């Protein structure tokens, strides 16, 4: 797969940023790696973009992991909860102007459901969920989990998470 390299000035990124964004919109991007080169006022982002061309061999094109159909993996009740979490994630991501996976991945949402997460400690034990996500989104997702599972089996006493 071909690579493209970009240098985006950290102090005045406009020109480099436009060039990078234009390139990314015109190509099928596979990965983006970035590194901040800290040199005071001369600092810049060194960016490597791996992308697919029409002559990229097919075996290299499918670099994504196999997708899981959570409708098949989860019970109907768990899938309903999972779908509610996805809806919440989508709404929050749209409000913040970020991709949905920046909040939580599909796998993390499914883990919340299957492990019957009921508090911030349990949520923080899910792989990839750090302090920043807990603080920013934890209560909203726990409230959603509580609301959607209240009709199913109760694993912990119901209480308001905002108290």
- Whether 1 and 56 have beta carbons less than 8 Å apart is answered as yes
What dotted CATH number matches 70-149? 1.10.150.80
Burial 13-51 (b: 16+ CB within 10 A, else e): eeebeeebeeebeeeeebeeeeeeeeeeeeebbebebbb
- The CA-based dihedral angle spanning residues 53, 55, 58, 60, taken in that order and rounded to the nearest 10 degrees: -60
Tell me the domain boundaries of the chain.
3-61, 70-149
User: Tens digits of per-residue pLDDT, 119-137?
Assistant: 999 999 999 999 999 999 9
- Tens of pLDDT along 28-87? 888 889 999 999 999 999 999 988 877 766 655 444 555 788 888 888 999 999 999 999
């Amino acid at each position: 797969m071909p690579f493209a390299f970009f240098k985006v000035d950290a102090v005045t990124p406009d020109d480099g940023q436009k060039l990078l964004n234009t390139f990314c919109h015109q190509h099928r991007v596979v990965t983006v790696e970035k590194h901040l080169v800290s040199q005071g006022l001369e600092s810049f982002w060194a960016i490597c973009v791996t992308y697919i061309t029409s002559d990229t061999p097919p075996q290299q094109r499918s670099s994504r992991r196999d997708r899981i159909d959570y409708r098949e993996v989860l019970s109907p009740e768990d899938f309903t909860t999972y779908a509610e979490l996805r809806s919440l994630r989508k709404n929050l991501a749209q409000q913040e102007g970020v991709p949905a996976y920046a909040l939580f991945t599909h796998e993390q949402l499914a883990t919340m459901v299957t492990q019957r997460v009921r508090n911030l400690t349990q949520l923080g034990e899910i792989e990839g969920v750090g302090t920043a996500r807990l603080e920013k989104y934890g209560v909203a997702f726990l409230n959603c989990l509580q609301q959607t599972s209240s009709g199913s089996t109760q694993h912990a006493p119901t209480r308001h998470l905002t108290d």
